[in-house]
Amino acid sequence: MTSLVKFHLSIQDEQASDVELQKALYAVAAELEKQSAQVASVPSPTLSSDFVAMGGDIVSLLNVEINPDTLKAFGRWLYERLLGTSTKVKFEYEGIVFEFEGRSNRDRQSAMQDFEQFIAKIEAAKRS
């Protein structure tokens, strides 16, 4: 059986309302569930301080487990849709870790290259 990739996805925006953040969270969760991911939301009071936005407490967080074969497609989907939001994500698969935190397009472009290397490492681990 293939191990699932586990990650946490936080959506933060000090200018967004709670309703707007929840809509964004539901859109991401729906896309993940379409790809057969296991998705659980984490209530704000249980969040670690690492996921609290500076200057505010408007935070949305998902814990996700997804098949490595569909992770690449989700990464591209996420890259295209979270422009303009602060994004912090950590992907982990059998000891292989990818972490990203940023807001700008430049941050995301650089992270996408690192993410593709992360996927290549997962594929190599699956072959061995």
Tell me the pLDDT tens digit for each residue of 26-35.
888 888 898 8
Q: Which residue has the tokens 């594929």?
A: 123
Tell me the pLDDT tens digit for each residue of 37-94.
898 877 655 444 454 443 344 446 788 888 888 888 888 887 777 666 677 778 888 8
Q: Which residue has the tokens 């949305």?
A: 60
Residue 59, amino acid:
V
pLDDT computed for residue 82 by the predictor: 66
Looking at every residue in the chain, the average pLDDT score rounds to: 77
pLDDT computed for residue 61 by the predictor: 77
pLDDT computed for residue 128 by the predictor: 80
DSSP state of 53: P
User: Can you give the pTM of this predicted structure?
Assistant: 0.65
Nearest CA among 60, 59, 72, 86 for reference residue 5: 72
pLDDT computed for residue 35 by the predictor: 86
Residue ranges per domain, the chain? 5-127
pLDDT computed for residue 53 by the predictor: 42
The helix/strand/coil state of 87 is strand
Integer-rounded Cα Rg, in Å, for the chain is: 14
| Burial group, residue 116, by CB count within 10 angstroms (0-12, 13-18, 19+) | middle
pLDDT computed for residue 58 by the predictor: 45
Mean pLDDT computed over 113-124: 90
CATH top-level class for 5-127?
alpha beta
Q: CA–CA separation, 96 vs 68, rounded Å?
A: 12
